Structure 1
Amino acid sequence: MQGHGYGQPVKQPPHTGWLVLLRVVFVALGILTIGFLAWTMLLRLAAVTRRPLDWVLFVAVLVADIVGIALLGAEPGDDVHTAGGYTGILLVLGALVATTVYYLAADIRHFQVRRQAYRAQQQAYQGRQAPAYGYPAAVTPYNAATVPVATPHPTPVHPAPTRPTPTHPTPAHPIAPHTVPPVPQRPAPARIDQVRAELDELSDYLRRHDGHEGGR
């Protein structure tokens, strides 16, 4: 997949003084010819902006000027006293006023937008030219052949000091583990008393049994 790529670079607009001079010249050309050359203002505007709307307006004003001049030319005599003559004057003068207002507003707005776009492009270009500390500059179609790529300096790495591992000598003969003899357990006192009582009963029984046999 291919990315969007880089947009078309915006050209630097002409100097403001030169633009003002051109506006004055074209407006004066339309006024001094009493509107007969008012279409020249829209011709320049359409050539600069290259918008379809400006080309359509240029053709409409040109047609209006041609029709107005034709109506005035068909007027008999030097004075205007017919409906056709008055219509021709309205077409020429109306086209002159409308064309002058629209031309100045559209031309000023167009070059303001171009100037803002050019400044934004320059700021973005300068932002790409100023990389962060320790990182190489971004290579773009504008600086691929002129701007060297800055490489970061390698940071020296110092090895950590190693500590000797203590070694314990291994004995020649293994030492047997010390065994503790088990402690003899004594019988519980209650068990001893019980055994003694049983022995006493047994001895009494035997004495009684022996005395009984001797009496016989």
Structure 2
Amino acid sequence: MQGHGYGQPVKQPPHTAWLVLLRVLFVAIGLFSIGFLAWTMLLRLAAVTRRSLDWGLFIAVLAADILSITLLAGEPGDEIHTSSGYVGLFLLLFTLVAAIAYYLAADVRHFLQRQQAYAAQRTAQAAYAYPGPANPYTAATVPTPPAMPVGPHTPPPMPHTPVPRPPLTTPPPQRPAPSHIDQVRAELDELSDYLRKHDGRPGGHEGGR
């Protein structure tokens, strides 16, 4: 028995710039040939899509171009004078316009479907390569940390309690050193001695006469 398999693999479509270049090229071939080579657009489309409808339209456009060329070739001169010539010209221009419109619409739709199929195939391959958990209810949502090995005689770690620190106290103001008081006292004694000596001089007190 086979497992979940894939269908026919879808090839990656060409780059968009390359596709646009091909479309412009084939449309230009039909326009510059005045419709005589309009069948080339349907031939390229039928070769890409490989559908029976596109092959049938290619044969129809080719037959219409051949018929229009035959009618235009039956004109006696370079200009169109007969009804068959006008019919051939109308058939040629109508086939050119219809071929361009159908070719562009069908080519764009075909490669757009291929791009969508290729993107869906890549998404399915990525989902198959990386499957999700089988049971979402049993899937672990939070990882469990590994348990620390504890010996038979190892006590469990005690919680660390911060030790409160004593409040900072402001140191008491320092008293001035006694040397400064002694210096002031000595200066006062010297001043007192000086005043005594000054008062003890003769003629020091004019009021003792």
Correspondence 1:184-195 to 2 at 5 A: none
Secondary structure of 2:36's partner?
Answer: coil
Secondary structure of 1:121's partner?
Answer: helix
Q: Which stretch shifts more, 5-14 or 25-34?
A: 5-14
- Partner in structure 2 of residue 18 of structure 1: 18
Aligned amino acid, residue 81 of structure 1: H
Query: Could you tell me how far 1:125 is from its partner in structure 2?
Result: 0.4
CA change 1:134–1:87 in 2 (3 A) is closer
- Partner in structure 2 of residue 63 of structure 1: 63
Aligned amino acid, residue 59 of structure 2: V
- Partner in structure 2 of residue 37 of structure 1: 37
- Partner in structure 1 of residue 83 of structure 2: 83
1:109 and 2:112 equivalent? Answer: no
Query: Could you tell me how far 1:131 is from its partner in structure 2?
Result: 2.4
CA change 1:3–1:63 in 2 (3 A) is farther
Aligned amino acid, residue 29 of structure 1: I
Cα-to-partner distance string for 1:69-121 (whole Å, 9 max, x where unaligned): 01100111011010110011011100000000000000000000000000000
Query: Could you tell me how far 1:132 is from its partner in structure 2?
Result: 2.8
Query: Could you tell me how far 1:5 is from its partner in structure 2?
Result: 4.6
Cα distance in 2 for partners of 1:3, 1:126 equals 16
- Partner in structure 2 of residue 124 of structure 1: 124
Normalising by the residue count of structure 1, what TM-score does the alignment of the two structures yield?
0.60
Cα distance in 2 for partners of 1:2, 1:129 equals 17
- Partner in structure 2 of residue 149 of structure 1: none
Q: Please identify runs of 4+ aligned residues in structure 1 that moved more than 3 A.
A: 1-5
- Partner in structure 1 of residue 48 of structure 2: 48
Cα-to-partner distance string for 1:165-209 (whole Å, 9 max, x where unaligned): xxxxxxxxxxxxxxxxxxxxxxxxxxxxxxxxxxxxxxxxxxxxx
Aligned residues with identical type, % of pairs: 67
Cα distance in 1 for partners of 2:6, 2:128 equals 13
CA change 1:125–1:90 in 2 (3 A) is same
Cα distance in 1 for partners of 2:134, 2:111 equals 40
- Structure 2: any 5+ residue segments left out of the alignment? 136-209
The structure whose RCO (Cα within 8 Å, separation 6+) is larger is: 2
CA change 1:59–1:18 in 2 (3 A) is same
CA RMSD of aligned residues (A): 1.9
Aligned amino acid, residue 91 of structure 1: L
Instruction: Give the aligned length.
Output: 135
CA change 1:86–1:4 in 2 (3 A) is farther
